[in-house]
Amino acid sequence: MRARPALAVALLVVLAGCGGTVGGPEPAGATPTGTPTGTPIGTPTATPTAEPREPFADPATDRLGWEAGRWHDEPLAVNASDGLNRSERSAVVARTMARVERLRGLEFESTVPVEVVDRETYLARETVTATAFDETVWEALLLIGEDRSVASVFESFYGASVQGSYVPSEDRIVLVSDGEGARIDRRTLAHELVHALQDQHFGVDRGTLTRDERLARQGLIEGDAGYVEDLYERRCRGGNWTCVPRPDAGPGASLGGDMGVYVAAYQPYSDGPAFVHRLRQRGGWAAVNAAYANPPTSSAQVIHPERYPNWSAERVRIPDRSASNWSRLNHTPTGTTVGEASLFATMWANGGVETFHLQRPSRPHRAYNYTHPTTAGWVGDRLVPYRNAEGERGYVLRIRWATDGDAAAFAVAYRRLLRERRGAERRAGDVLVVPAGPYADAFRVRREGRTVTVVNAPTVGALASVHAG
């Protein structure tokens, strides 16, 4: 990929061992939002066929579990201690392709080129950009304030920890090797090969989606890759397969105060494998394949897989009640939906959720726990950014909840985190003011029945100009 925006990136894997308080089981990786999703062209299935009696002989025709002259259980004479030379790399890639298709039950339609580069080379190829719309969304989530740019945060995060990516437009994989030599992490390679398999069978859809819709589809796509990666690694560790040793982990990303950004971006990789596992329990790999024709539409369905496919979020509208000197940022569609996963990250990063709650996963193949009473009642939302003639920003965030009680609990928690974490001072009515810092603004937080509406503006007087009460 030649260049990519911070909020619309390729299918990639990054280290989960970032600095901060998050720990727990070794996850599959993390990416920002905007992963391309699949547009199915059928729901292919494949059944493993019997292997030839002569061990590791090439079959007369292509078979599931055999690729480019290598069987999935074939031993390889490679030395990975100082990296892999070209022939060793080809052998490892071929056997990994055979293993991935054996686990996933889908045949590779073509060989996938794999390039290994050092981190400096990878970073030199990549650029990260962000729009004013992106800046307002992350500010509204109280995760990236006005003192920094979204692009710089993601450059630091991904630049230090990206381990590999699959580029759909070019049908190739790029792996990042830290240290000398071409070192391949078997988990990263398997993960990215699943993305290539998805692309070959289900295609790529670059349609316009809200933030939450992108996270939901990432939950399926990255969940599929992460689930197969988990199955792959279990066979390596359990002795069923001989596997190339994994290299030492790279430097990781030192996020410091940006752990909330990590939590927001990582949710599909945490809950996606558990979501796919649930689909497979219901109807085998055929059910997973069929999901590409009917993907989840909200992160809530991935967090709560029992809601898929019959539950859907409510559509929330925000009428434009701004004054003449304020206007909505030009964006298609108007505004976006942030969703349950992003609101959980807001609460977690700002003290509204106990820190170690995240480290208590509640089901198999789930790395972290994104289910919390404060956000589990989410049923829909809309966020619309505004800007005035002077370039000042504001926004309206309207959230719909399942019950009046859910809405009241969120409103109380949200006001509390503004006061306790951001230093907000209470003003008349529903207004709070953060006097200093990266979120220094006025906030109007109002609950009406099942709906909570947050209006943000630079000053108390501008609140009604952004959105009249």
Residue 15 lies in a domain: yes
* CA–CA gap between residue 154 and residue 7 (Å, rounded): 9
Residue 349 lies in a domain: yes
Q: Let me know whether 133 and 281 are in one domain.
A: yes
Report which residue type is found at 210. T
Q: Let me know whether 16 and 143 are in one domain.
A: yes
| pLDDT confidence bin for 88, thresholds 50/70/90 | very high
Residue 312 lies in a domain: no
Q: Let me know whether 336 and 227 are in one domain.
A: no
> Domain residues for 377?
326-466
Q: Let me know whether 11 and 157 are in one domain.
A: yes
| CB within 8 Å of 396: residues ≥ 6 apart | 318, 382, 383, 384, 386, 453, 454, 455, 456, 466, 467
Q: Let me know whether 288 and 343 are in one domain.
A: no
- Which residue from 318, 296, 138, 307 is spatially nearest to 214, judged by alpha carbons? 296
Q: Tokens 């609990």 sit at which residue?
A: 409
| CB within 8 Å of 169: residues ≥ 6 apart | 1, 204
Give the dihedral of Cα atoms 193, 194, 198, 204; nearest 10 deg. Answer: -60
Q: Residue 458, preceding bond cis, omega within 30 degrees?
A: no
Residue 299 lies in a domain: no
* Domains of the chain: total: 2
Give the dihedral of Cα atoms 145, 150, 152, 158; nearest 10 deg. Answer: 120
Q: Quick: pLDDT tens for 120-177.
A: 888 888 888 999 999 999 999 999 999 999 999 998 887 777 889 998 888 899 999 8
Q: Let me know whether 239 and 353 are in one domain.
A: no
- pLDDT average, residue stretch 320-344: 95
Q: Let me know whether 273 and 363 are in one domain.
A: no
Q: Report the pLDDT value the prediction gives residue 11, as an integer from 0 to 100.
A: 61
Q: Let me know whether 169 and 34 are in one domain.
A: yes
Q: Report the pLDDT value the prediction gives residue 9, as an integer from 0 to 100.
A: 35
pTM, two decimal places: 0.88
Q: Report the pLDDT value the prediction gives residue 25, as an integer from 0 to 100.
A: 29
Whether the pLDDT of residue 228 is over 50: the answer is yes
- pLDDT average, residue stretch 277-304: 97
Q: Let me know whether 285 and 338 are in one domain.
A: no
Mean pLDDT highest for which of 24-28, 150-154, 404-408? Answer: 404-408
Residue 316 lies in a domain: no
Q: In the predicted model, what is the mean pLDDT of the chain? A: 87
Phi, then psi, of 443 in degrees rounded to 5: -130, 135
Q: Report the pLDDT value the prediction gives residue 332, as an integer from 0 to 100.
A: 84
| CB within 8 Å of 408: residues ≥ 6 apart | 447
